[in-house]
């Protein structure tokens, strides 16, 4: 079994695409799952507005839970790939087992804390006496399935890390399809409202978690999960946490950036521009899916070859990943520049929003091809276990550049709302270039010396 899914053999491009395609499809299904979920809740008779607002208030709590799932899942998977590439099967198993234990422990702590403090948290996030009951009903049930989220989201990384991209995709498909089917049944047929939506989500996550565990403890897995590997090793836990902090920070800072953007846009342009940013973020999510899928598919290949000492293949993988991301995002920039109204029209038919959204979208996305440099540099750091660089560049673009520019630009030359949108391309240019150039200076020479 040690030779199965050996990324040190065959075409680099084929290895990466073989993982990237199912990962991208899985993300696409996940986005569809979110959109359909909100559509159903938005059609609950008589209380749709309050129900949607209530669900929205729970998103910060859900984001934190997912961030912890990524902390130990995305932190452990690259280490697992490196160990597997170096034919250190026992270490790879220990990394996976320790990640699993940390997912369970952190999930249990989060569930207890969030259930204990849900009321003050929800009011802190903006709940009122009208919307709190809906938020409370949803999050109480959702939190009961916290461990399912941790297992399905966190441990699916280890299925992908072993080269089973299609199996990892099926994990997402199983949960998404189950949720899409159960939502209307529980919400409308059984008249359970937001509670029905929460129950459908928990059942879906439970099935995905069962699927992941069944595969990782079965005969088809290269590395199997067993009790012996779950005994916590302080050194390994430290490495996993350090490497996973990059993804964790990205999740948390994304929320912080969104809060600052919305508040600033509301101040200078009112609800209309907050709506425009909502549409822009939806378009951005669609565009970045293939890029995220490609970089996620490249990480196991880069890590495996690095662990195996195949440094020439590591460089080829980085080149292929970077070039593909840049070409794709450049093409998307061209499409968005010439046809912004088409993308706006996918999400709204409001004439005022489309009219004001066209120039805003052209500004926001004008440097999107430079974002590919950020993704490529960041993914390389994570794949090669360079935790400090990965964390630094996660914080650098979002916290050090985007947030200050979002607050400062509207004040310069009367830019107003346009200043908020300009913060994104400027941050892509500075942050993306810094991340990629630093990778070339610090990583490339070491790979050349080892050849």
Per-residue pLDDT tens over the stretch 70-88:
899 988 988 898 888 888 8
Residue 401 near residue 426 (C-beta atoms within 8 A): yes
* CA proximity to 109, closest of 75, 71, 54: 71
Q: What is the pLDDT of residue 285?
A: 76
Q: Which two tokens stand for residue 100?
A: 């699993």
Q: Which residues neighbour 158 within 8 Å (Cβ) at sequence distance 6 or greater?
A: 73, 76, 77, 80, 96, 99, 216, 223
**Is residue 9 predicted with pLDDT exceeding 90?**
no
Residue 122 near residue 136 (C-beta atoms within 8 A): yes
**Burial profile 256-278: b = 16 or more Cβ within 10 angstroms, e = fewer:** ebeebbbebbeeebeebbbbbbe
Q: Give the Cα separation of 187 and 197 in Å (integer).
A: 6
Provide the pLDDT confidence category of residue 243 given band limits of 50, 70 and 90.
confident
Q: What are the φ and ψ backbone dihedral angles of 43, each rounded to 5 degrees?
A: -110, 15
**Is residue 3 predicted with pLDDT exceeding 50?**
no
Q: What is the pLDDT of residue 451?
A: 42
Provide the pLDDT confidence category of residue 214 given band limits of 50, 70 and 90.
very high
Taking each continuous run of H as one helix and of E as one strand, the counts in the chain are 19, 0
SS3 of the chain: helix, strand, coil, percent, to 5:
85, 0, 15
Q: What is the pLDDT of residue 321?
A: 92
* CA proximity to 268, closest of 103, 142, 415, 119: 415
Per the prediction, the chain carries an average pLDDT of 85
Provide the pLDDT confidence category of residue 188 given band limits of 50, 70 and 90.
confident
Q: What is the pLDDT of residue 348?
A: 65
Give the max Cα distance, the chain. Answer: 68
Stretch among 18-27, 156-165, 262-271, 368-377 having the lowest mean pLDDT: 18-27
Measured in whole angstroms, how far is the alpha carbon of residue 228 from the centre of its chain? 30
Q: What is the pLDDT of residue 269?
A: 84
**Is residue 1 predicted with pLDDT exceeding 60?**
no
Provide the pLDDT confidence category of residue 27 given band limits of 50, 70 and 90.
low
Q: What is the pTM of this model?
A: 0.69
Q: What is the pLDDT of residue 33?
A: 61
Residue 310 backbone zone (phi > 0: left; psi -120 to 50: alpha; other: beta): beta
- 392-405: pLDDT as tens digits: 887 888 889 999 99
Q: What is the pLDDT of residue 123?
A: 82
Q: What is the pLDDT of residue 12?
A: 86
Stretch among 45-49, 102-106, 138-142 having the lowest mean pLDDT: 45-49
- 130-147: pLDDT as tens digits: 888 988 999 999 999 999
**Is residue 441 predicted with pLDDT exceeding 80?**
yes
Provide the pLDDT confidence category of residue 2 given band limits of 50, 70 and 90.
very low
Provide the pLDDT confidence category of residue 410 given band limits of 50, 70 and 90.
very high
* CA proximity to 266, closest of 146, 77, 416: 416
Q: Give the Cα separation of 58 and 68 in Å (integer).
A: 16
**Is residue 63 predicted with pLDDT exceeding 60?**
yes
Stretch among 12-16, 27-31, 91-95, 332-336 having the lowest mean pLDDT: 27-31
pLDDT, mean of residues 312-330: 91
* Percentage of the chain lying above the pLDDT 70 cut: 91
**Is residue 48 predicted with pLDDT exceeding 60?**
no
Regarding predicted confidence, which is higher, 64 or 150? Answer: 150
Provide the pLDDT confidence category of residue 209 given band limits of 50, 70 and 90.
very high
**Is residue 320 predicted with pLDDT exceeding 60?**
yes
Q: Angle at the Cα of 187 (from 183 to 188), degrees rounded to 5?
A: 115
* Percentage of the chain lying above the pLDDT 90 cut: 35
* CA proximity to 258, closest of 59, 410, 439: 59
The number of residues making up the chain comes to: 451
Regarding predicted confidence, which is higher, 37 or 248? Answer: 248
Q: Which two tokens stand for residue 409?
A: 């630009």
The tokens 């959109």 sit on which residue? Answer: 35
**Is residue 37 predicted with pLDDT exceeding 70?**
no
**Is residue 437 predicted with pLDDT exceeding 90?**
yes
**Is residue 30 predicted with pLDDT exceeding 70?**
no
């Amino acid at each position: 079994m040690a030779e199965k899914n050996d990324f040190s053999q065959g075409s680099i491009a084929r290895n990466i695409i073989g993982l990237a395609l199912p990962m991208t499809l899985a993300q696409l299904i996940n986005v569809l799952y979110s959109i359909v979920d909100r559509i159903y809740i938005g059609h609950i008779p008589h209380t749709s507005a309050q129900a949607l607002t209530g669900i929205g208030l729970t998103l910060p709590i859900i984001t934190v839970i997912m961030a912890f799932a990524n902390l130990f899942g995305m932190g452990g998977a690259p280490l697992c790939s490196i160990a597997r590439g170096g034919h250190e099967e026992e270490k790879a198993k220990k990394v996976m087992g320790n990640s699993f234990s940390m997912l369970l422990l952190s999930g249990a702590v989060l569930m207890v804390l969030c259930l204990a403090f849900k009321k003050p948290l929800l009011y802190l996030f903006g709940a009122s006496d009208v919307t709190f009951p809906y938020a409370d009903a949803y999050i109480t049930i959702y939190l009961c399935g916290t461990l399912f989220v941790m297992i399905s989201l966190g441990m699916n990384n280890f299925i992908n890390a072993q080269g089973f991209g299609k199996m990892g995709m099926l994990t997402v498909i199983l949960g998404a399809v189950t949720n899409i089917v159960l939502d209307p049944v529980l919400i409308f047929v059984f008249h359970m409202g937001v509670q029905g939506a929460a129950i459908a989500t928990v059942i879906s996550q439970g099935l995905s978690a069962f699927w992941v565990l069944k595969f990782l403890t079965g005969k088809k897995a290269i590395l199997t999960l067993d009790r012996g590997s779950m005994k916590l090793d302080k050194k390994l836990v430290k490495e996993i946490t350090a490497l996973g902090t990059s993804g964790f920070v990205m999740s948390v800072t994304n929320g912080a950036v969104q809060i600052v953007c919305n508040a600033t846009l509301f101040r200078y342009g009112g609800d209309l521009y907050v709506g425009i940013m909502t549409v822009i973020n939806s378009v951005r999510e669609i565009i970045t899916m293939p890029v995220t899928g490609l970089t996620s598919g490249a990480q196991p290949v880069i890590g495996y070859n690095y662990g195996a000492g195949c440094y020439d293949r590591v460089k080829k993988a980085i080149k292929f990943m970077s070039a593909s991301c840049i070409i794709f995002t450049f093409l998307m920039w061209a499409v968005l520049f010439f046809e912004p109204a088409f993308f706006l029209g996918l999400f709204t038919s409001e004439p005022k929003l489309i009219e004001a959204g066209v120039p805003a979208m052209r500004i926001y996305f004008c440097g999107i091809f430079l974002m590919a440099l950020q993704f490529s540099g960041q993914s390389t750091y994570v794949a090669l276990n360079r935790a400090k660089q990965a964390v630094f560049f996660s914080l650098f673009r979002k916290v050090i550049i985007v947030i200050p520019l979002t607050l400062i630009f509207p004040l310069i030359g009367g830019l107003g709302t346009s200043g908020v949108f300009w913060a994104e391309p400027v941050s892509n240019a500075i942050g993306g270039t810094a991340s990629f150039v630093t990778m070339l200076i610090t990583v490339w020479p070491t790979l050349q010396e080892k050849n």
